[in-house]
Amino acid sequence: MRTNPGGQLAPRDVVGRDRLIEKLWHILERQSLVLTAERRMGKTSILKKMAAEPKKGVRVFFRDLEALRTPLEFVDCVYQDVQADLSLKGRTLNRVRQFMEQVGGAEVKGFKLPQTVAPHWKTILTKTLEDLAEHQEGLLIFGWDEIPMMLDNIKRGQSEAVAMEVLDTLRSLRQMIPTVRMIFTGSIGLHHVIARLKETGYANAPTNDMFTEDVSPLDLEAALSLAMGLLQGEQIRGEDDTVLAAAIATAVDCFPYYIHHVIDELRWTTTTRTPEQVNKIVQANLCDEANRWDLAHYRERIDTYYSGAEQTLALGILDELAATDLPLSQRELLDRLNIQSIGQDLEQVRKVLKLLGRDHYVSQQPDGGYQFRFGLIQRYWKLSRGL
């Protein structure tokens, strides 16, 4: 296995996700899924592995929606995928074809849907899925990576109302066609996109029929196995390979992305590889101005997705939590932030703590105290904020 930090992985190189994938298949038998995680945790790799190694009798259509800007472009992707699949079996999309004839659009084979049918995107999408469900037995799973990005693009390029319509249409399709399942994932949280839509009057809960599953870092055993596999693949020897692999896995909190990065850098060190070198590499990257580990988004995301008052509170809370090794209760946080009044301020703090939880910055302990969810990110925060 070779290092590949951030690139596309072959399904066999996706390490330590078998149990999670088994669970996801199980959930998909009954309902659709929202797959959430910190950036670079391995969501896309999981989705692609599921598409490459589907369960028997299940069809998985994987699509990265990042570059799409209109509902028609989206429907076109779905249409092309379904058409390619059905044509392999000599089937055609009869409902779509009849509808296209009615509205004067030519039948489309391998070409993009014409702009003239743009007002009918909902009908075409519905008929496409109906045609598919008629010809295909078993579950029909659409894995849509970066769907929050597409919704954001649609919101900017068209309007909030159109983005809401897309979400509502997908929800109603999930209700209408019992064999259709969707997996939503992406590098920005869907909750941020929905929160923005709610500010403009969107009242629906478009994913409350879906199961939300969070992707965590690897467990220690899988992280060790990934580190060993990469060390061997890159022919990197330490004094003791097992000790070196353990040092790598623990130094990066078992994040697979950083395991790839550290071993990629170790390749270029000429002296004997030691745990001390591993720690040096991690430390240097936590302070790296060039942001090669893509850590700057932890700070930038707050400016992009939190409102003005939330930003100040979020930064205050994270600074306090970064500077202490013990979990802090809500009361302790309020004291440290110098917030005395019970009322609006307290509600704001609670709201921001919830947001920070959903964005994987903090987690709440069984005794109610808050702390950084990942020690590595806490170290980064502390260093980058000069705390």
Q: Which tokens sit at 289?
A: 């101005």
Nearer to Mg ion, 126 or 153 (CB): 153
37 binds, among ligand ATP, Mg ion, none (CB under 5 to 8 A by kind): ligand ATP
Q: Are 323 and 387 in contact (CB under 8 A)?
A: yes
4 binds, among ligand ATP, Mg ion, none (CB under 5 to 8 A by kind): ligand ATP
Does position 44 interact with Mg ion (CB under 5 A)? The reply is yes
Residue nearest to ligand ATP (CB): 42
Angle at 245 between CA 244 and CA 249, to 5 degrees: 120
83 binds, among Mg ion, ligand ATP, none (CB under 5 to 8 A by kind): none
Residue 311 CB: number of other CB atoms within 10 A?
15
Strand order in the sheet with 33-36: 59-64, 140-145, 180-185, 33-36, 211-214
CB of 116: closest distance to ligand ATP in angstroms?
34
Distance CA 357, CA 200 (A): 24
In one-letter notation, the amino acid at residue 145 is: D
CB of 228: closest distance to ligand ATP in angstroms?
12
CB of 11: closest distance to ligand ATP in angstroms?
10
Nearer to ligand ATP, 145 or 160 (CB): 145
345 binds, among ligand ATP, Mg ion, none (CB under 5 to 8 A by kind): none
Nearer to ligand ATP, 17 or 120 (CB): 17
CB of 50: closest distance to Mg ion in angstroms?
13
Nearer to Mg ion, 44 or 285 (CB): 44
Q: How far apart are the first and last CA of the chain?
A: 39
The SS3 of residue 37 is coil
Residues of span 170-199 touching Mg ion by CB under 5 A = none
Q: DSSP code of 217?
A: P
Q: Where are the alpha helices (DSSP H) in 141-296?
A: 147-157, 160-176, 190-199, 220-233, 241-251, 256-266, 275-286
Distance CA 46, CA 312 (A): 35
Nearer to ligand ATP, 100 or 246 (CB): 246
Nearer to ligand ATP, 7 or 386 (CB): 7
Q: Are 224 and 245 in contact (CB under 8 A)?
A: yes
266 binds, among ligand ATP, Mg ion, none (CB under 5 to 8 A by kind): none
The SS3 of residue 338 is coil
36-44, 83-91, 266-274, 359-367 -> range binding Mg ion (CB under 5 A):
36-44
Residue nearest to Mg ion (CB): 44
CB of 80: closest distance to ligand ATP in angstroms?
23
Nearer to ligand ATP, 173 or 262 (CB): 262
Nearer to ligand ATP, 205 or 220 (CB): 220
Which helix (H) or strand (E) element contains residue 135? helix 121-135
Would you tell me which residues interact with ligand ATP (CB under 6 A)?
4-7, 9, 13-17, 37, 39-45, 187, 226, 256-257, 260
Burial of 262 (0-12, 13-18, 19+ CB in 10 A): buried
101 to each of 68, 107, 117, how far by Cα in Å?
26, 7, 11
CB of 331: closest distance to Mg ion in angstroms?
38
Nearer to ligand ATP, 142 or 202 (CB): 142
CB of 43: closest distance to Mg ion in angstroms?
5
The SS3 of residue 371 is strand
By CB under 5 A, how many residues form the interface with Mg ion? Answer: 1
Which helix (H) or strand (E) element contains residue 380? helix 375-384
Locus of tokens 């009954």: 30
5-13, 39-47, 240-248, 319-327 -> range binding Mg ion (CB under 5 A):
39-47
19-27, 41-49, 152-160, 374-382 -> range binding Mg ion (CB under 5 A):
41-49
Positions touching Mg ion (CB under 5 A) are 44
